[in-house]
Amino acid sequence: MEIIDYVILAVFGALGAFISGFLGVGGGIIYIPVLDYFLKKAGMNDTMLVKGILANSLFTIIFSGSVSSYNQYKHGNFFPKQILQTALPGMITAFIITYLIKTSTWYSKTTFNYVFASMLLIIVVRMFTSKSKIHTNEKESPAWHYQITGFFAGIITAFSGLGGGVVMTPVFTDLMKQSIKKASSISNGVIPLFAIVLGIYNLTDLPPQYISNWQVGYIVLPVVFPLILSTFIFAPLGVSASQKTSQQAIRMIFASFASLVFIKLIYEIFFK
């Protein structure tokens, strides 16, 4: 890797961190395409690529999600009970699915692209077309709503590397009638808990290929460090911006970013 590569990674890390704080999605929606490019450039083979993308995205999300969640706490927008109710079942399902992916060859890069694209399409359509009222004084949902959401968010996290925020935020707002700012805060709190469990697993696992002397397990440190360093500055900025932005604007920005990633994936699937 050259100096310009580290600069590019830092720039995209800043964007991913800002989005993490602003939308409560962990930043994976930016990290996934960037890691796809740079891990391939570093020499990661096709057999290992999807596992490497998932592992390195989720490792980076540990930091972007944690910094964003801490800044939600500083802004008085923090919900520890709901975070734990959501996170605990999801940590279990995320680990199980990750183990199944790691110990087999059925989850290829092509399969990953189709899963990722299908999930994004559903989210984009839902966010752009939903006529749901903007909720500001919602009643608290029962614990089992959060637990079921976490259960499925953990599965999506393991399959997509996104951290689960793209699932949790729409469910919290559209189905559970939470305000999007509360939904983003809970999502920001849950995401690093998912990612820590998988991060430890990915650091201690033995991959079939090493592409760097600075690789620990599946984590390629020269690639993830520039992404992580940007987090500490730009994730707090994203949280601050979200506190000043209307709920409807946040929904549209969320859907717009998901649309861009969806278009990129469609191009990769059909035109490469």
For residue range 206-231, what is the model confidence (pLDDT) as tens digits? 898 899 999 999 999 999 999 999 88
Q: What is the pLDDT of residues 86-129, one digit of tens each?
A: 999 999 999 999 999 888 888 887 888 887 788 778 777 776 77
Of 9-18, 39-48, 124-133, 143-152, the poorest mean pLDDT is in 124-133
The predicted structure's pLDDT at residue 272 = 63
Please name the amino acid found at residue 240.
Answer: S
Give strand pairing partners of 90: none
Residues 6+ apart with CB under 8 A from 172: 149, 178, 182, 183, 186, 187
Tell whether the torsion through CA atoms of 94, 113, 41 and 100 is positive or negative.
positive
The predicted structure's pLDDT at residue 102 = 86
The predicted structure's pLDDT at residue 171 = 86
Give φ, ψ of 216 to 5 degrees. -115, 110
Give φ, ψ of 181 to 5 degrees. -70, -40
Give φ, ψ of 203 to 5 degrees. -70, -35
pLDDT at residue 132 above 60?
A: no
| Tokens linked to 142 | 């029962």
Q: What is the pLDDT of residues 20-32, one digit of tens each?
A: 888 767 677 788 8
Tell me the percentage of the chain whose pLDDT exceeds 70.
94
